[in-house]
Structure 1
Amino acid sequence: MLLTITTTVRPATDLGFLLHKHPGRVQEFRQSFGTATVFYPEAGEERCTAALLLDVDPVALVRSRGKGSPDFSLSQYVNDRPYAASSLLAVALADVFRTARAGRCTARPELPGTPLPLELRLPALPCRGGPDLARRLFEPLGWEVDAQALPLDEAFPEWGQSRYVGLTLRGASRLADALNHLYVLLPVLDDAKHYWIAPDEVDKLIRAGTGWLHGHPERGLITRRYLGRRHSLARTALARLAELGDETEEQLEPAVEEEPPTEDPAAGEAAEEETAADEPAVTTQADAGAEAEAGAAEVRPKALNVRRREAVLAKLAELGAVSVIDLGCGQGELVGALLATPRFAKVGGMDVSSMALTVAARKLRLDRMPDSRRARLTLFQGALTYTDKRLSGYDAAVLMEVVEHVDPSRLEALERVVFGHARPAHVLVTTPNIEYNVRYEFLTGLRHPDHRFEWTRAEFTAWASRVAGRHGYRVAYEPVGDEDPEVGPPTQMGVFTLDQRS
């Protein structure tokens, strides 16, 4: 399968700087399913073309599949995967052009932020929906689309058209945006993926869709197909898009894939542990500023999840906390931010999910963490509804977007464990404000499928006041995110402080 990228900007060989691939060399990149080769059929001042050729090894592809594969049996050996663009090409593109997708170019920092005249060609692309679907997906992104249905057999025109199209896209675009469009939309057009679709695919979709997916008229179709029609994942992704709006994960780099997971879920998790090691646990304001200075991306409003994390960090510093435990730490975003701040001499992270802790350890690069930083960190599995002495001994505890995941009948146990037994000097609780949900155009129901409830401002105030009074705390309330005059802020935060007289 083949992808060509052509530009006519002068000098056209700037394409080599953007792709980080020298026009004078042929480079090969091993994939678990074959070999990706990058070469330049033409490289002149007026016109330059880079080609990505993916040579799929059918035997290696079969070996990477399990019995849960949608094309198990004879179709493992007789299929279009070596010949037509698909998720295989998307994964190879993500690996080979990972720096270009991130919008970085150290040698020429002004280039990534500059739209270029581009022509992208895919000679054979499976398209379940035909040329019309290709136009519906790419034209809203500013592309001029030439999609031609390919005949089943040119020698027998009476057999009609196949489900494949020859696709050419023309337009002015940042190269990083163009590559991310292809990364997301190739498997969407094919309506299939060659690897197990795990929950982290939601993160990859959100990151690669930064700046364009939320406003796309076909975002529902794109989300469902990209996530293999797994309704729970699609619902999560759409809820996150609704919550983040145009601010969707601007602080995160596009997802990087080195190796596709296998079809076996357990093996897929193991493969993902290896591939995501290159992903940073946290993108700081300094990182974002450096990228902006390098011309990698325009400055956009911060995503709500970033503003929430920053609000928590600022409040912890204001309270003078030097030891903090993140209760329900998930994949370690807040833990990573705490470790990056030297004032926090002792950092803990607890979660009920061993899988989340495994991902957190990987993203934090625990195995390569300097000893001085590692000595400050404790990660462990536990449940907030059971007394645990490991929760004690911290100045502050954080429950960031956690309480709404607990069954209402078990909230009293959580209160007793955190406020009654652990009793840190300060507890920070953030939770969604359900009143604000009407401002999310595409949201129906709660913001996340695992939420047991979401509180109004009055309900949160009543709960927090009751807990504070019962356990000897004072509580203050602060908004997180832009406050709407009618429905309040998107996130509400309660800051509990232990009354020293109690």
Structure 2
Amino acid sequence: MLLTLTTNHKPATDLGYLLFKHPGKAQAFSTASGTAHVFYPRADEEECTAALLLEVDPIALVRGRKNDSFTLGQYVNDRPYAAGSMLAVALSSVFRSAMNGRCDQRPELADTPIPLRVRVPAVPCAGGPALAERLFAPLGWRVDARPVPLDPEFPEWGDSRYLDLRIEGELKLSDALKHLYVLLPVMDGAKHYWVGEDEIEKLLRAGDGWLSGHPERDLISLRYLAHRRGYQRTALDRLAELDGAEVEPVDVLPELEDKPEPLSATRRRAVIEALREVRAHRVLDLGCGGGALLRDLLADPTFTEIVGCDVSAGALDAAQRRLRLDQLPDRTRDRVVLRQSSVTYTDPALAGYDAAVLMEVVEHVDASRLPALERAVFGTANPRHVIVTTPNAEYNVLYPNLPPGKMRHTDHRFEWTRAQFHDWAQGVADRCGYTVRYAPVGLEDPVHGPSTQLAVFSRKEAA
């Protein structure tokens, strides 16, 4: 991975003094990720360019380690080539004095804004050019972020998630290096090492003088701290103390920052809350699987009649075992029925219920069969309300173990972005006489939204 710094400040070779690296020789430095090379492709009085080339050793990255979340398939990943946290760490190590604002030979120069051009040809950016603009422009940079095509010879394949990042401005070199140190891993949305409490101090040191006033302060702190909400809260509180400013409240799961509730449990809770909101008592769980939601529904006497449907007889057997139907009191057992049925086939016996739930079901249906699902659920069954949850594909880039372009489950036929989900849901609502509203499930990323998206359909006469 490569980063270049260019100035035309006169004399331009003063850049060597600022970086503590002589323009006349190439140097190599050992880092935890591999070898960092510093050299000058051009060095004269008119213009000087310093290049930092990080040569990553992918074998050394995983040797002796277990369960490193960033190693996608251990040895098959983009980390040796993508300018993220490894390049940021090399930058701070190789140019530490410059980042701290030291320049022994030209002390006045360290405090002088100079014209700078920075280029990083391959930056993974979970948010695209718009995010790069939002991150760097408020700091005085002019941003030219160009998506890198998947293959220039096949433009129809579209763009990759990488940017050719070029920024230009007149800043102190120490500030420029701090911006890059913080924002490169923020763009990537991941780090190659375990994030502990000491990362808060690193963020505060590198963000001194600019982070507290940045309009994307919350996003930067959240991503830099690997989405650890407790750490983010601490960092923002510390910034407020240092600057004497008020900090907007950040939602944190109380006492669960380090051990958050599993998404599956959060999803079931969100579904049950939605059912209570629409005052449903007779509920269909379509595609009930092993019965996790059925168990939660059965625990709430509000739900007086519960029908669990699945096309798989094995899943229904698992649900029966999970619910321990043979051990339940008669009154409780009589509230639940298990039925073998497919969400794509009409079943008149399912008509007339208060609500139907499709929790993480639609993405398991072939796209060509979605009209059949629509007819069976919204047409024949026609419950007063339908609650649908499905993964948000935009959030996938935040899962460090999920390779780019892969879906969360091998049986998923597709995964929708928020816009795609809204388009499908609104189309169903318009055709079938429903209204629809949407809600996030779980914590929301400021750019990518929630991991799970939820829609509540209500028949127009019931809305």
Aligned to 2:269: none
Contact 1:238-1:443 within 8 A present in 2 as well: no
Aligned to 2:176: 178
Instruction: After TM superposition, give the deviation of residue 156 of structure 1 in Å.
Output: 1.6
The answer on 1:51 being equivalent to 2:48 is: no
Separation in 1 of the partners of 2:255 and 2:172? 35
Q: How does 1:471-486 map to 2 (within 5 A)?
A: none
Q: What code does the residue aligned with 1:442 have?
A: E
Q: How does 1:50-89 map to 2 (within 5 A)?
A: 50-63=50-63, 65-67=65-67, 69-72=68-71, 75-89=73-87
Instruction: After TM superposition, give the deviation of residue 449 of structure 1 in Å.
Output: 8.6
Contact 2:92-2:99 within 8 A present in 1 as well: yes
Aligned match for 2:102, one of 104, 108, 131: 104
Instruction: After TM superposition, give the deviation of residue 111 of structure 1 in Å.
Output: 0.7
Separation in 2 of the partners of 1:32 and 1:217? 33
Aligned to 1:149: 147
Could you tell me which runs of 5 or more consecutive residues in structure 1 were left unpaired when the two chains were aligned: 247-438, 451-502
TM-score (norm 2): 0.53
Instruction: After TM superposition, give the deviation of residue 444 of structure 1 in Å.
Output: 6.7
Q: Give CA-to-partner distance per residue, 1:271-304, whole Å, 9 cap, x none.
A: xxxxxxxxxxxxxxxxxxxxxxxxxxxxxxxxxx
CA RMSD of aligned residues (A): 2.0
Q: Give CA-to-partner distance per residue, 1:207-238, whole Å, 9 cap, x none.
A: 10000000000000000000000111111111
Separation in 2 of the partners of 1:187 and 1:88? 8
Separation in 2 of the partners of 1:113 and 1:243? 26
Instruction: After TM superposition, give the deviation of residue 102 of structure 1 in Å.
Output: 0.3
Aligned to 2:408: none
Instruction: After TM superposition, give the deviation of residue 244 of structure 1 in Å.
Output: 1.6
Aligned match for 1:197, one of 176, 186, 195: 195
Q: How does 1:366-405 map to 2 (within 5 A)?
A: none
Provide the aligned length of Structure 1 versus Structure 2.
255
Separation in 2 of the partners of 1:445 and 1:120? 35
Instruction: After TM superposition, give the deviation of residue 75 of structure 1 in Å.
Output: 2.4
Separation in 1 of the partners of 2:37 and 2:95? 12
Contact 1:127-1:164 within 8 A present in 2 as well: yes
Aligned to 1:329: none
Separation in 1 of the partners of 2:64 and 2:25? 30
Q: How does 1:11-410 map to 2 (within 5 A)?
A: 11-63=11-63, 65-67=65-67, 69-72=68-71, 75-245=73-243
Contact 2:237-2:247 within 8 A present in 1 as well: no
Instruction: After TM superposition, give the deviation of residue 443 of structure 1 in Å.
Output: 5.0
The answer on 1:2 being equivalent to 2:6 is: no
The SS at the match of 1:194 is coil
Aligned to 2:451: none
Aligned to 1:440: 246
Q: What code does the residue aligned with 2:14 have?
A: D
Instruction: After TM superposition, give the deviation of residue 442 of structure 1 in Å.
Output: 2.7
The SS at the match of 2:148 is strand
Instruction: After TM superposition, give the deviation of residue 136 of structure 1 in Å.
Output: 0.3
Q: What code does the residue aligned with 1:115 have?
A: P
The SS at the match of 2:110 is coil
Q: How does 1:453-468 map to 2 (within 5 A)?
A: none
Separation in 1 of the partners of 2:126 and 2:188? 6
Separation in 1 of the partners of 2:142 and 2:222? 25
Separation in 2 of the partners of 1:104 and 1:175? 10
Contact 2:236-2:247 within 8 A present in 1 as well: no
TM-score (norm 1): 0.49
Q: Percent identity?
A: 62
Separation in 1 of the partners of 2:33 and 2:88? 13
Instruction: After TM superposition, give the deviation of residue 186 of structure 1 in Å.
Output: 0.4
Separation in 1 of the partners of 2:46 and 2:250? 51
Separation in 1 of the partners of 2:105 and 2:249? 43
Query: Whose radius of gyration is greater, 1 or 2?
Result: 2
Contact 2:83-2:123 within 8 A present in 1 as well: yes
Instruction: After TM superposition, give the deviation of residue 78 of structure 1 in Å.
Output: 1.1
Separation in 1 of the partners of 2:167 and 2:9? 16
Contact 1:3-1:122 within 8 A present in 2 as well: yes
Instruction: After TM superposition, give the deviation of residue 108 of structure 1 in Å.
Output: 1.1
| Alignment CA distance shift 1:244-1:196 (3 Å) | same
Contact 2:92-2:181 within 8 A present in 1 as well: yes
Q: What code does the residue aligned with 1:104 have?
A: R
Q: How does 1:409-428 map to 2 (within 5 A)?
A: none
The SS at the match of 2:111 is coil
| Alignment CA distance shift 1:444-1:135 (3 Å) | closer
Could you tell me which runs of 5 or more consecutive residues in structure 2 were left unpaired when the two chains were aligned: 257-463
Contact 1:239-1:443 within 8 A present in 2 as well: no
The SS at the match of 1:92 is helix
Separation in 2 of the partners of 1:64 and 1:242? 40
The SS at the match of 1:238 is helix
The SS at the match of 1:76 is coil
Separation in 2 of the partners of 1:77 and 1:239? 39
